[in-house]
Structure 1
Amino acid sequence: MTAGGIASREARAAARQRLSVLTDSTSVNATTLADELAGVTGLLDRETGLRRVLTDASKPGEAKAELAGRVLGGQVGGETVDLVSGMVRSRWSASRDLVDAVEELADLADLTAAEQAGVLDRVEDELFRFGRIVVSSPELRTTLASRDAEAAQTTAKVELVRRLLGGRAEEVTVRLVVRLVERPRGRSLEGGLEDLSRLAAERRDRSVAVVTTAVPLSDAQQRRLGAALTRLYGREIRLNLDVDPSVLGGIAVRIGDEVIEGTLAGRLEEVNRRLD
């Protein structure tokens, strides 16, 4: 899901900034924007030739933007056309990076809608909890992660997600998970859910620490760990807590690709000593 290469990283950052400016406007419906960007993701994912033309560094940016406008005009709103046109003016390291970036914008637009509705915290927590359910249920994971592209099979997976989450989770959460199940695009279900949780955390300008312990942490331990990690990383850290008896009395903390492991008491004391 994450675009790679220097050119793609710069283009993706610029696209995210344009999306942020756009969704700051109260006249823009973030949910509609998310739907339309998801549709563009599907189009570019299917049409290999089109995405190659739109990311061809030898072609002028304005010519590519004009082509994008012709292809998308009448199918999506002007805001979506403008966003995608701006993206194809940029340079991309690989054509697939453009698709990944459009998909990310769709997810960010939905998360923006959640923030505007005051439910972003709940959506973030629901994504994490559903990810834990998937990990703990091999049968469910196998069913939802099936590579069968038949329409009937995809419909069945979507209906299963709606049965599991409908009425128990925010509609934004359901939309994000359904989209992931419908179009995994080579990702594992767990990986896709982790990406969504990360984006939700970034939306609140903080990081997520996945904390796995053999027994539940007390409120005092949670506060101590959260404070220590916040001081260590220099930004607010949200704790997503998981209990796994196989940790054998210890604790494992994962923030992005970094994993901190050690005994609960010893590691917390070590972190605090380093920060005193």
Structure 2
Amino acid sequence: MHAASREALAAAEHRLDGVLSGSDADAKTVGAELAAFAQVLRREVSLRRALADPSAAEAARVGLVRNLVGAKLSAATVQVLETVAESRWSNPRELAGGVRTLAADALLAAAEADGKLDTVESELFATARLLDRTPELEQALGDPAAPAEAKRQLVDSVFGGKVSPLTLSLIEQVVADPAGRSVAHGLDGIAELAAKRRERSVAHVTTAVPLTDDERNQLADKLERIYGRPIAVHVEVQPNVLGGIVVKVGDEVIDGSAAGRIAALRGQLAG
């Protein structure tokens, strides 16, 4: 996302936090309404362009939002969309992506208020890893030609009752509007947003055997000292790492696995 869009999204996130904390707004309702509007933006290219048009007056863009949804959506959602409209976005695609992010943020705020943010974050990570391991399910959920209702029913049949209702809603949001990404990638992005709400980064840890609570805590402490900020540790067990662990924080990978060391040795011998 370009600089202008990052600033616009930050302004909209600030407005979202304000309306959710300073009123009787229901975060789940706001999240659902923002997600629905994001889908409208995905379908209506002319609307995306109109709201992101830098040559249009700010009042005209805000008025467009009010005319479209002022009587249809909750007051809190309309306020957030007004901030979206009055801000300067780098391009229409990033405006639509910003609304998708705001929709996820609202549901994460609901999870935080319910004391379930940790659970939702962990479930999102686990679901993304399941999709990584089952490409046929990833393909079915991410198929742009499949009917939306059929994909929603597939989500409910696979994940319903196995994850929390808020996590299920977030999965449905990503499946309904993947924006050219894999579903797993979209879920990882929302897990990152969950960590951001607690001002933490996320470490994706791959290990041959499960970590104990003490080992997980020790690893989190070491990573916090390395990166200078709190780190949320998400663990995936994969026997093919042989031993040790692989840690990925953002774009940086720390490969301490036996498989990684063997591969490095082979590279040295080949060189």
With structure 1 as the length reference, what TM-score do the two structures score?
Answer: 0.89
Q: Aligned match of 2:247 in 247, 253, 261?
A: 253
Partners of 1:208 and 1:186 lie apart in 2 by 23
Q: Aligned match of 2:166 in 169, 172, 179?
A: 172
1:229 aligned partner: 223
Partners of 2:139 and 2:48 lie apart in 1 by 31
Structure 1 unaligned residues grouped into runs of 5+: 268-276
Is the partner of 2:199 in helix, strand or coil?
Answer: coil
Query: Which structure 2 residues correspond to residues 15-164 of structure 1 after superposition, within 5 A?
Result: 15-149=12-146, 151=147, 154-164=148-158
- Give the aligned residue type for 2:230: E
- Give the aligned residue type for 2:17: S
Q: Aligned match of 1:242 in 236, 249, 268?
A: 236
Is the partner of 2:254 in helix, strand or coil?
Answer: strand
Which deviates more, 174-183 or 135-144? 135-144
Cα distance, 1:157 vs structure 2: 2.1
Partners of 2:67 and 2:101 lie apart in 1 by 23
Is the partner of 1:59 in helix, strand or coil?
Answer: coil
- Give the aligned residue type for 2:45: T
Give 4+ residue runs of structure 1 displaced > 4 Å after superposition.
Answer: none
2:197 aligned partner: 203
With structure 2 as the length reference, what TM-score do the two structures score?
Answer: 0.90
Is the partner of 2:248 in helix, strand or coil?
Answer: strand
Partners of 2:88 and 2:127 lie apart in 1 by 36
Cα distance, 1:217 vs structure 2: 2.9
Cα distance, 1:52 vs structure 2: 0.9
Q: 1:26 to 1:80 in 2, by over 3 A?
A: closer
Partners of 2:175 and 2:254 lie apart in 1 by 31
Is the partner of 1:216 in helix, strand or coil?
Answer: coil
Cα distance, 1:26 vs structure 2: 4.8
Partners of 2:215 and 2:26 lie apart in 1 by 41
- Give the aligned residue type for 1:254: K
How many positions carry a matched residue from both structures?
260
Which deviates more, 140-149 or 111-120? 140-149
Partners of 1:207 and 1:235 lie apart in 2 by 7
CA deviations on 1:5-35 (whole Å, 9 max, x unpaired) are 1111111111111111111125110011111
Partners of 1:23 and 1:155 lie apart in 2 by 30
CA deviations on 1:213-234 (whole Å, 9 max, x unpaired) are 1223344432221111011222
Cα RMSD of the aligned pairs, angstroms, is 1.8
- Give the aligned residue type for 2:123: E
Cα distance, 1:142 vs structure 2: 2.2
Cα distance, 1:263 vs structure 2: 4.1
Is the partner of 1:239 in helix, strand or coil?
Answer: strand
Is the partner of 1:260 in helix, strand or coil?
Answer: strand
Structure 2 unaligned residues grouped into runs of 5+: 262-271
Is the partner of 1:33 in helix, strand or coil?
Answer: helix
Is the partner of 1:76 in helix, strand or coil?
Answer: coil
Cα distance, 1:47 vs structure 2: 1.3
